[in-house]
Amino acid sequence: MQILKIIFIILEVVVLFNMLIFVHELGHFLAARWRGLKIDRFAIWFGKPLWKKKINGVEYALGCIPAGGYVALPQMAPMEMIEGRGEAMAEPLPAISALDKIIVALAGPLFSFGLAVFFAFVVTIVGRPVGETESTTTIGYVEKDGPADKAGLRPGDQILEINNLPVTKFSGIGDSVMWRVVSSEGDNLEVKVKRGNEIKTFYPTPVKDPTKAWQRKSLRQIKIGPAESAVIAEMLSNSPAERIGLKVGDQILAVNGEKIYYTGGLHDYIEAHPGEKNLTLGVRRGSTNFMVSVSPEKPVNMPDEQPLIGISGWQDDVNVKLAYPSVFQQIHDSVGAMVSTFGALFSKKSDIKPQHLGGALKIGQVYFTLFSNEQGWRLAIWFSVLLNINLALLNMLPFPVLDGGHITLALIEVVRRKPVSAWLLNYLQTGCAVVLIGYMLYIAFFDVQDLIPAGGKEKQNVTPEFAPKAQVDK
């Protein structure tokens, strides 16, 4: 059953991802038909065709390299390295105007933008799941002896600004805590927080985890995590937690008067107070709050381990709500995310480099992760808004072989009143195609590593066991 679910998710990813490519290329195709251009091939994916069929003079094909698509138009700039040599290459074809070239090149990004608007409209109807990390800037976890801990930041601190820039959420690109940290510059951060009724400022020094030469370089971090509800998902049989009457779905609010800000908070407290035998837990069950007393015990099969109370799993995606952002808000946020990314990418002082971008494999991995979620289809539709905006804007860059490159060449043709020479254009397009394909392979090298589990011999997990004792119903 699990295998069937994975296969179904993969099919969803393939269909949706290729839909984005198809709509973009359909824009070029329909514009070329409208302007009367010769069309050699309409292809999804690059490389040698796995399947092809000729209909009304146009060859429709599925390539072997899943990294995009193209419409072969011999009257546009030559693209033989990516598209292959078409039958029409040997035929004398009439020249087309610069306006025709601009219209055909612009149609792809316009169709991608239109698809983004369509998906955004769907999101306004069905909603987008928003988890706790997107609705809070409160710190839940501070790593011991990490940069934040050394600077004085503590769980429960509500972050207001980082380097004088406001934050509205913990994760994501834009005005989030994590993005402000990874895209920051300089030795120290200025973090303004609200602690109780006080406004305090701290100055942690970001660090980067060590990486090997072939791995993506790690980005700046201050070793903190967002606040999240500690809701029980699993308990061990005969454990102290089970015996005192705790149930799946109960939320742990506090231990011995100390508020719990994240799922590992209870474990951290027990580890930091090994001598305390009786713990008073604040618990919420539905709309009722109550207190219970529990004594941690050492599992009978793990006598050398620290005492436990037997909560073995915590619920993910607690307190998820549906948001209904407007179409304009979604487009604005997507454009803003891309502007922020490229602003950091081209900053000389930023640690974000071209290797940190993701290619087709990374996009597929993101879609797979989203579809694996209970609200996966909603999340995938929302992510498709961002992806289509990126596809539209990236293709407008004035780089030969991209749509923006075709438009730039057409504008040069208007100014010069004659096309760029075929000889120069061929070398220019071929050289840029080599650069583009090389970069795609470079990104794929890192993306593949993200798909492979970390090496090394994994430590064998032993399930703690507790001796049966009388149970107290709560």
In this structure, are 108 and 208 located in the same domain? Answer: no
Structure confidence by residue, pLDDT tens digits, 444-465: 899 998 887 655 444 457 788 8
By C-alpha distance, which of 441, 367, 338, 394 is closest to 17?
367
In this structure, are 158 and 248 located in the same domain? Answer: no
In this structure, are 96 and 144 located in the same domain? Answer: no
- Residues 419 and 412: their CA atoms lie apart, in Å, by 8
Using only C-alpha atoms, what is the Rg of the chain? 28
Q: Does any domain span residue 92?
A: yes
- Residues 160 and 166: their CA atoms lie apart, in Å, by 6
Torsion angles phi and psi, residue 355, rounded to 5:
-70, -15
Residue 53: give the domain boundaries. 2-119+384-451
Domain final position from 192, 225, 258: 225
In this structure, are 209 and 263 located in the same domain? Answer: no
Residue 77 near residue 89, CB atoms below 8 Å: no
In this structure, are 174 and 91 located in the same domain? Answer: no
Taking the CA atoms of 412, 416, 419 and 423 in sequence, report the sign of the dihedral they define.
negative
In this structure, are 211 and 288 located in the same domain? Answer: no
Q: Indicate which CATH number applies to the domain containing 182.
A: 2.30.42.10
Domain final position from 312, 330, 356: 312
Structure confidence by residue, pLDDT tens digits, 367-414: 888 888 888 889 999 999 999 999 999 999 988 888 999 899 899 989
In this structure, are 114 and 208 located in the same domain? Answer: no
- The arrangement of strands across the sheet holding 279-285 comes to 258-259, 251-255, 279-285, 288-294
Q: Which long-range contacts (CB under 8 A, 24 or more apart) does 445-454 make?
A: 445/214, 446/215, 446/216, 446/355, 447/358, 447/359, 447/360, 447/361, 447/362, 447/365, 448/361, 449/214, 449/215, 449/216, 450/361, 450/362, 450/365, 451/361, 451/365
Query: Who contacts 157 (Cβ-Cβ below 8 Å, separation ≥6)?
Result: 138, 139, 193, 194, 195, 200
What pLDDT, on the 0 to 100 scale, is given for residue 460? 55
Cα 192 to its chain centre, rounded Å, is 27
What pLDDT, on the 0 to 100 scale, is given for residue 334? 93
Q: Which residues pair with 255 in a beta bridge?
A: 258, 281
Q: Does any domain span residue 162?
A: yes
In this structure, are 255 and 240 located in the same domain? Answer: yes
Structure confidence by residue, pLDDT tens digits, 102-125: 999 999 999 999 999 999 999 999
Q: Does any domain span residue 463?
A: no
Residue 366 near residue 383, CB atoms below 8 Å: yes
Please tell me the least confidently modeled range out of 63-72, 100-109, 324-333. 63-72
What's the number of domains the chain is made of?
A: 3
Query: Who contacts 200 (Cβ-Cβ below 8 Å, separation ≥6)?
Result: 152, 157, 192, 193, 194
Q: Does any domain span residue 361?
A: no
What pLDDT, on the 0 to 100 scale, is given for residue 64? 83
In this structure, are 147 and 221 located in the same domain? Answer: yes
Domain final position from 201, 225, 249: 225
Cα 351 to its chain centre, rounded Å, is 18
In this structure, are 113 and 9 located in the same domain? Answer: yes
Do the strands 139-142 and 58-62 form a parallel or antiparallel pair, or are they unpaired? unpaired
By C-alpha distance, which of 57, 51, 46 is closest to 81?
46
Question: What's 145's DSSP letter?
Answer: T
Report whether pLDDT(206) > 70: yes
